[in-house]
Amino acid sequence: MSDTPHFPLSAVVGADALKLALCLTAIDPKIGGVLIEGPRGMAKSTLARGLADLLASGQFVTLPLGATEERLVGTLDLDAALGEGRAQFSPGVLAKADGGVLYVDEVNLLPDHLVDLLLDVAASGTNLIERDGISHRHSAKFVLIGTMNPEEGELRPQLLDRFGLNVALSGQTAPVERGQIIRRRLDFDSDPEGFCAQWADAQAALRERCQQARGALVHIPLDDQSLALITERCFAAGVDGLRADLVWLRAARAHAAWRGAVAIAEEDIEAVAEFALRHRRRETPPSAPSSGQSPQAPASSNANPGEGQGQWGEMPAQALPIGARREVPSWPKKP
């Protein structure tokens, strides 16, 4: 891991929804990572690196778009196996990402054969390499962070569903926030060490809050009442499969731990609803409302799209509102 300073997550202006999704994933990596959608130039690597800083290992590994299969899974040296009687393994990206963050930019442009490999490893948490009767197995448990521009192509449904949470971004930002973003980025570029030192206390507080939430997580029950409410909402949204139910319940529990609660409440379920449903909801609900009636869903269409949302230090980016859905609560205050 490089010692080069990275823009601290605590110094990022706004982007409340995305920061919350990343922190929940740091609290419970079993949620399954985050898919970030939006146009280019939105500091997506800054987002992912911010998550890595909140994890125990802090490991951050990028999968290049043009990577080969060997670069991803690693290689076996057959000459060493024949001469020394053991397989000599050269680790790939999956091995290096174990326990940390695997960041895939433009994940929707990833070749199909690499997508298949990612799906297998993400499901099992283990990478198995076999060559000419010789095999090597190693742990490959990581938080998958993917970014994509929907205008450049869709993501395969199997990989889309593998991401636990989904947040959409837009480049539209209010002038005042744009100025704050640019100013902080200029300050960081001119003196990275000094800038990070200035935000060290806030970053440490954020890291400590996530650590405390991780410790409290196991004591918060995944209760039947919360599960029943979530399964009803998933059915109403026309969600295929059961992954959404599980991800939503885990994210709600992580949110309860994040706010220091001892049990999942309805506010926790609502806070993460759009994260879990956005990329899984059918465009046409299974049952349409009767004529002249509106769907019984929390409304946010009259809200100010830019209110309470902002950016990630490098370039403007804000979370998009999703029509007829309750907005994610504002970014909680620092502890």
Q: Has residue 91 been placed in a domain? A: yes
Q: How many residues does the chain have?
A: 335
Residue 131 is assigned to a structural domain of this protein: yes
Which are the contacts of 160, defined by CB distance < 8 A and separation ≥ 6? 35, 279
Return the pLDDT at 139.
Answer: 93
Q: Indicate whether 44 belongs to any domain.
A: yes
Residue 66 near residue 106 (C-beta atoms within 8 A): no
| DSSP three-state, residue 139 | strand
Q: What is the 3-state secondary structure (H, E, C) of 140-179?
A: CCCEEEEEECHHHCCCCHHHHHHCCEEEEEECCCCHHHHH
- Give how far the C-alpha of residue 307 lies from the chain's centroid of Cα atoms, to the nearest Å: 22
Instruction: Read off the pLDDT of residues 293-325 as tens digits, 9 standing for 90 and up.
Output: 433 333 333 333 333 333 333 333 333 333 333
Range of the domain at 45: 9-185
Q: Alpha helix (H) ranges present in the chain?
A: 16-27, 44-54, 69-73, 78-84, 93-96, 112-124, 157-162, 175-190, 192-198, 200-217, 224-236, 243-258, 266-271, 273-277
Q: What is the CATH number of the domain that holds 109?
A: 3.40.50.300
pLDDT in tens, 59-102: 889 998 889 999 999 988 766 656 666 668 889 999 999 988 89
Residue 94 lies in a domain: yes
Give domain status of residue 231, yes or no.
no
Quick check: is 76 in a domain? yes
Mean residue pLDDT of the chain comes to 80
d(CA 193, CA 125): 36
The answer to whether residue 86 is catalytic is no
pLDDT at 289: 41
In the structure encoding, which two tokens stand for residue 260, read together? 């220091």
DSSP structure string for 40-85: S-S-HHHHHHHHHHHSSS--EEE--TT--HHHHH-EEEHHHHHHHS
Crossing angle for the helix pair 200-217 and 16-27, to the nearest 10 degrees: 50
> Phi/psi zone of residue 84: left (φ > 0), alpha (ψ -120 to 50 degrees), beta?
alpha
Annotated catalytic residue, options 71, 243, 259, 326: 243
Sequence letter at residue 289: P
On whether residue 31 sits in a domain, the answer given is yes
Residues β-bridged to residue 131: 134
Give the DSSP letter of residue 11: G
> Given this model, what pLDDT does residue 26 score?
93
Residue 275 located in a structural domain: no
For residue 85, the model assigns a pLDDT of 60
Structural domains counted in the chain: 1
Q: Which residues of the chain fall short of a pLDDT of 50?
A: 1, 287-330, 332-335
| pLDDT at site 297 | 37
